[in-house]
Chains A and B, each alone.
Chain A
Amino acid sequence: MLKIDNVTMKFGGVVAVNGFNCYIENGQVVGLIGPNGAGKTTIFNVVTGVYKPTEGEIIFDPEGKEEKISKLRPDQIAKLGICRTFQNIRLFKELSVVENVFIGSHLRLKSNVFSSIIRLPKYNNEERQMMEKAFYLLEKVGLYEEKNEKAFSLPYGKQRRLEIARALATEPKLLLLDEPAAGMNPQETQELMEFIAEIKEEFDLTIFLIEHHMEVVMGICEKILVLDHGTLISQGSPQEIQNDERVIEAYLGVE
């Protein structure tokens, strides 16, 4: 699904990510963990095209067709089928909840701007489908009741779910979740884990997530990558990671 090949990201003299390699297989749930400032979000930004990597290549092959994406713009990458959520929620705040999700499916719109103004039947048809999809996704994440409220008026946990619904509207094959459980209580975290498993099945997704809540990472990830100071220090199944000396060192430090 996604191959990150020897990616290095430098900002001036600071090396945020150093020679990062990984491969994510179709249908996997992969977790990326590491102490604060380890470069986790930078990797997400490189994959989604927000940053262009200083070195290395990223290859996306959802259906066997390999596509080099490190030089593409974020919108082109989204069209290929990689979508994300943000660590510090980035909703379209002044717009309504349903509009937020609706906009997520704009990239799949085929009609041009003039047929949208004169409301050609083809456009109307597409718009109706987009609207139905938005309502369906809102029901899915349990926000249907709030559909006409402004996004910023939602409580924090619901904003996180709205962001996921918006990302799903783009019809991704690979979904990147940046700390989806941040600021959630254990109950909400549990619900989130079930929710992630559910959407993975329904939309046939591969999921790549950054998370600090260990119960989430250990609970749903099949494979875990551990990053420290921009370098991949360990990878493997949850059990392997839990027993890895280097990981314990990175998190707890050594005498």
Chain B
Amino acid sequence: MRNKKIILSLIGIIATGILLFILGNVLDTYKIRILNLCGIYIILGLSMNLINGFTGLFSLGHAGFMAIGAYTVAILTMSVPMKELNFFMKPMVPFLANLEWSFFPALIMAGLISALVGFLIGAPVLKLTDDYLAIATLGFSEIIRVVFINIQSITNGALGLKGIPSNTNLWWSWGTAVFTIIFIGLLMEGSYGKAFKAIREDEIAARSMGIDLFKHKVMSFTIGSFFAGVGGGLLAALLGTIDPTMFKFALTFNILLIVVLGGMGNIKGTVISAIVITIAMEALRFLDESINLGFMTIQGIPGMRMVIFSIILMLVVIFKKDGLLKSNLKDVRRNYAKNR
């Protein structure tokens, strides 16, 4: 059973690798960029699903953790002359100005710093539940953004950072995505993952069964923050330019959209919906422009795409709250029939 699973996973990974190799050679740079974004959004979606979907903590602080990861990678990998060029308003702290790490350690560092911050804010915030937790984490991500605007000698403030070496390629983004899928898959299959689900299902029962709620919540939150930081770092190295306004609530919303459409606590669903939504975000760009219907022209409304996505989100929440890809009740009935 387990061997079969491992073999299937290996075949899946190899197939993904071959597909990426072909696509990498066939597609133009714009499409490759979207494909990279797909990989990154898989990482971000899964990390948020770990916190929100599997552990049942309603956290909205993802953009904050991504900002930490993105800035860590940017600051650590940018070349010294490029940093001098960027920091013309106020010079950078000399210690950071002279650093130049290679991509991999910088990415790990991005995850670790983000995880550390997640751990530190998790300690007070995770005592809260439901909507209070959502408000507190949302507040946290806004605070991070404002702090980044104001520590000019480290982050270059509102000007942002330009000329981040574009290290992210298909192998990095998708390699990390596959690693994240495997990591979170194994975590959720193990005893700790089951304990996370137990907390989501019923906190009172979980703690009466000896599960230390606080420890497990902090654990899940910290691991989620780690991957959010890594995802942010990959994003920074893909875009080449970052500034604090990128990391507004809208970014968290995009990831939340992926998680909800893919199904809370559903790894496969998150992967598929991350790919579909990332592509759809680009493919539906025509909605923002004016549309010519032949007999009349509809004026383009910027942001129309997001209206469509918000409507889809509302419909899913109302009619199919397990996500579009999971037919929960059907599974139950089938299992029931099988056992008869």
User: Which of A's residues lie within 8 Å of B, judged by CB?
Assistant: 48, 50, 73-75, 78-79, 83-84, 86, 90-95, 99, 102-104, 106-107, 109, 111, 113, 116-119, 123, 126-127, 130, 145-146, 148-150, 153, 166-167, 170
Contact = CB atoms under 8 A, between A and B. Distances in A.
Contact of B186 (A84, A119, A153): A119
Given A92-B202, A93-B201, A94-B201, A170 B209 contact: yes
Contacts of B202: 90-93
Interface stretch (B20-28, B74-82, B115-123, B191-199): B191-199
A95 B197 contact: yes
Contact of A107 (B190, B210, B339): B210
B190 A79 contact: no
A212 B328 CA distance: 37
A117 to B, nearest CB: 5
Contacts of B209: 75, 78, 83, 103-104, 106-107, 166-167, 170
B203 to A, nearest CB: 10
A83 to B, nearest CB: 7
A236 B332 CA distance: 48
Interface stretch (B31-39, B126-134, B211-219, B237-245): B211-219
Given A75-B212, A106-B192, A113-B219, 15 more contacts: A75-B207, A84-B208, A90-B205, A92-B198, A92-B206, A99-B197, A102-B191, A106-B198, A113-B190, A113-B192, A117-B186, A123-B190, A130-B191, A150-B335, A153-B336
Nearest to B220: A113
Nearest to A100: B198
A170 B208 CA distance: 10
B186 A103 contact: no
28 contacts: A48-B208, A50-B208, A75-B211, A75-B212, A78-B208, A78-B210, A86-B204, A90-B205, A91-B201, A92-B197, A92-B206, A93-B201, A94-B201, A103-B191, A106-B191, A106-B195, A106-B198, A106-B210, A111-B191, A113-B190, A113-B223, A116-B187, A117-B186, A119-B186, A119-B190, A149-B336, A150-B335, A153-B336
Nearest to A118: B186
A111 B192 CA distance: 10
Contacts, number: 112
A83 B207 CA distance: 10
A111 B207 CA distance: 19
Contact of A102 (B194, B204, B205): B194
Contacts of B319: none
Contact of B194 (A95, A117, A166): A95
B88 interface: no
Contact of A95 (B190, B201, B335): B201
Given A92-B201, A103-B194, A117-B186, A73 B207 contact: yes
B329 to A, nearest CB: 10
A66 B193 CA distance: 34
B187 A117 contact: yes
Contacts of B206: 92, 103
Interface string B306-340: 00000000000000000000000000100110010
B195 A103 contact: yes
Contacts of A148: 335, 339
Nearest to B328: A94
Contact of B190 (A50, A90, A116): A116
A127 B190 CA distance: 8
A153 B211 contact: no
Contacts of B204: 50, 86, 90
A167 B208 CA distance: 9
Contacts of A107: 209-211
A83 B206 CA distance: 11
Contacts of A111: 191
B205 A106 contact: no
A150 B201 CA distance: 12
A103 B191 CA distance: 7
A218 B193 CA distance: 43
B183 interface: yes
**Top 7 A-B residue pairs of the complex, sorted by shortest distance between their CB atoms:** A107-B210, A78-B210, A116-B190, A92-B201, A90-B205, A74-B207, A103-B198
A119 B185 CA distance: 12
B332 A106 contact: no
B192 A86 contact: no
A75 B210 CA distance: 4
B211 A117 contact: no
Nearest to B194: A103
B186 A170 contact: no
